[in-house]
Amino acid sequence: MEDQVNRRSWPPRSAYLHIPFCHRRCFYCDFAVVPLGDHADGANSGSIAGYLELLLGEIAAAPAGPPLATVYVGGGTPSMLTPAQVGSLLAALGTHFGLAPGAEISLEMDPASFDGPRLAGYLAAGVNRVSLGGQSFDDAVLARLGRRHRSTDLLQAASWLHQARQGGDLASWSLDLIQGLPEQGLAAWRQQLAQAVALAPPHLSIYDLIIEPGTVFAWRQGRGELELPDADLGADLMELTAQTLQAAGYGHYEISNFALPGHASRHNRVYWSGAGWWGFGLGATSAPWGQRLARPRTRAAYAEWLAESHPASRGTQAPGLPFDERLLVGLRRREGVRLADLAGQAGVTSAELGDLLGRWQPFRERGLLLQEGPRWRLSDPEGLALSNGVLRELVAWWEERTAG
Ligand code: SF4
């Protein structure tokens, strides 16, 4: 417990940079995104250049901190930036904080937004891990998602990444896929997983489709035009994912994440561990000392926020992430959480904890939630695949507690 308390007061050693630009907005996406059209690029876009100036200013005005062990450039579509632009961001972080030897530096990239020389440019600028937004190998599905790339783009991008790995320039890369899509059955998903395994990415992130308000998908759902998998099929899809990938040698280290040995994302672990991180850019969330701070999601509001705020106000207090959030992220990890320690730190009484455990009893009886000494975790694969019920009870319990 003492170790966890001390860790929360350490300054962050990780940074997230948000690049909000995309060519077009995908039909399911509600991220903080600025669509610039199919031909926009960091080399020809004044919007991108102007935004990078704001971002560099925010980095320069941040409080001091120790060298960074992980950096994640996400979006949006960060591969719309030129290698020189990515290099200037990494140089700014290096000047302000320093980059620790062996730091993991990840860049999100979309197929069809880069080629081999451009990838080589990013790697020369310091990137050593790529997260590739593949989403599907099926062209009809990609079109229905509103994606710009097609499966040949994905296969070509993967081949460049493999070459870079073989050349020793790229430490690791990850492929994103979406499961639980409209009309997706077990046979179609099995085929997608087989193609993913054949492609042999060192890391896979498999996300469930979530229908977010305000998206094209939400509108279509409202009109009864989306046939989504029901809860039983959704659970079967997740179980198939876990079984297929584990049989192929991938460790299931978090609900949505699978990695070959040595390829788990160090940056992801920072979010899930409760350790703090810097965040920079429009819509980005930071939690430098555990205090979460979300930035405005439009460019004008972000610029105004930057002009008004002072580095000292950006989270030097340490109230810590709320208990429910720490428990939610902890339970998503394969190793689970030390429940009593977390509760003690958050001032949750044993009677309140007893109430939560009562709500969880049905899941314990079904073997989905396990207690191993002081540690609580979801069983693998059933508990991780059917985690929604456990997490829903947690959220409901916390809402009632805080309302009362
Ligand atoms: S590419 Fe990613 S961030 Fe951009 S619109 Fe599509 S899903 Fe959203």
Residue 361: pLDDT band with limits 50, 70, 90 = confident
**pTM above threshold 0.75:** yes
- Res 144 pLDDT > 90: yes
- Res 86 pLDDT > 50: yes
Q: Whose CA is nearest to atom 3 of ligand 1?
A: 76
* pLDDT average, residue stretch 120-140: 98
* 3 Cα to the center of ligand 1, angstroms: 38
- Using a 6 Å cutoff on CB, does residue 31 contact ligand 1? yes
- Using a 6 Å cutoff on CB, does residue 42 contact ligand 1? no
Residue 9: pLDDT band with limits 50, 70, 90 = low
Q: What is the largest CA-CA distance in the chain?
A: 61
Alpha-carbon span 368 to 381, nearest angstrom: 9
Encode 336-368: b = buried (16+ Cβ within 10 Å), e = exposed: bbbbebbbbbeebeeebbeebbebbeebeeeeb
Residue 61 pLDDT: 92
Residue 6 pLDDT: 39
Indicate if the alpha-carbon torsion angle 60, 63, 67, 69 is positive or negative. Answer: negative
Condensed to tens digits (0 to 9), the pLDDT of residues 22-81 reads: 999 999 999 888 999 999 999 999 999 999 999 999 999 999 899 999 999 999 999 999
- Res 291 pLDDT > 80: no
Alpha-carbon span 150 to 385, nearest angstrom: 29
Q: Which is nearest to 394 in space by CA: 321, 323, 319?
A: 323
Residue 344 pLDDT: 80
Give 3 or 305, the one with higher predicted confidence.
305
- Res 228 pLDDT > 80: yes
Condensed to tens digits (0 to 9), the pLDDT of residues 146-200 reads: 999 999 999 999 999 999 999 999 999 999 999 999 989 999 999 999 999 999 9
Q: Whose CA is nearest to atom 5 of ligand 1?
A: 25
* 26 Cα to the center of ligand 1, angstroms: 5
Among 135-139, 170-174, 366-370, whose mean pLDDT is lowest? Answer: 366-370
Residue 313 pLDDT: 45
| Cα atoms in the 13 Å half-sphere on the side-chain side of 358 | 8
Quote the strand ranges of 190-333, DSSP E. Answer: 203-208, 251-254, 257-259, 278-280, 285-286, 293-294
Indicate if the alpha-carbon torsion angle 389, 252, 380, 187 is positive or negative. Answer: positive
**At residue 164, what is the residue type?**
A
Alpha-carbon span 40 to 32, nearest angstrom: 18
Residue 259 pLDDT: 97
- Using a 6 Å cutoff on CB, does residue 142 contact ligand 1? no
- Res 2 pLDDT > 50: no
* 136 Cα to the center of ligand 1, angstroms: 14
| Cα atoms in the 13 Å half-sphere on the side-chain side of 31 | 21
- Using a 6 Å cutoff on CB, does residue 74 contact ligand 1? no
Q: Are strands 251-254 and 257-259 parallel, antiparallel or unpaired?
A: antiparallel
* pLDDT average, residue stretch 373-387: 79
Q: Which atom of ligand 1 is nearest to the CA of 147?
A: 6
Residue 240: pLDDT band with limits 50, 70, 90 = very high
Out of 22, 107, 145, 176, mutate this one to test ligand 1's pocket (max ligand atoms within 8 Å of CB): namely: 22
- Using a 6 Å cutoff on CB, does residue 75 contact ligand 1? yes
Encode 116-140: b = buried (16+ Cβ within 10 Å), e = exposed: eebbbbbbebbbbbbbbbbbbbbee
- Res 245 pLDDT > 80: yes
Residue 330: pLDDT band with limits 50, 70, 90 = confident
Q: Which atom of ligand 1 is nearest to the CA of 146?
A: 6
* pLDDT average, residue stretch 334-346: 80
| Cα atoms in the 13 Å half-sphere on the side-chain side of 175 | 28
Q: Which is nearest to 287 in space by CA: 13, 3, 6?
A: 13
* 89 Cα to the center of ligand 1, angstroms: 21
Among 44-53, 109-118, 144-153, 310-319, whose mean pLDDT is lowest? Answer: 310-319
- Using a 6 Å cutoff on CB, does residue 29 contact ligand 1? yes
Residue 10 pLDDT: 67
Q: Whose CA is nearest to atom 6 of ligand 1?
A: 26
- Res 249 pLDDT > 90: yes
- Res 107 pLDDT > 60: yes
Alpha-carbon span 171 to 166, nearest angstrom: 9
- Using a 6 Å cutoff on CB, does residue 76 contact ligand 1? yes
**Other CB atoms within 10 Å distance of the CB of residue 80:** 23
* 23 Cα to the center of ligand 1, angstroms: 8
Q: Which atom of ligand 1 is nearest to the CA of 75?
A: 3
- Using a 6 Å cutoff on CB, does residue 22 contact ligand 1? yes
What's the angle, vertex CA 251, arms to CA 246 and CA 253, rounded to 5?
130
- Res 320 pLDDT > 60: no
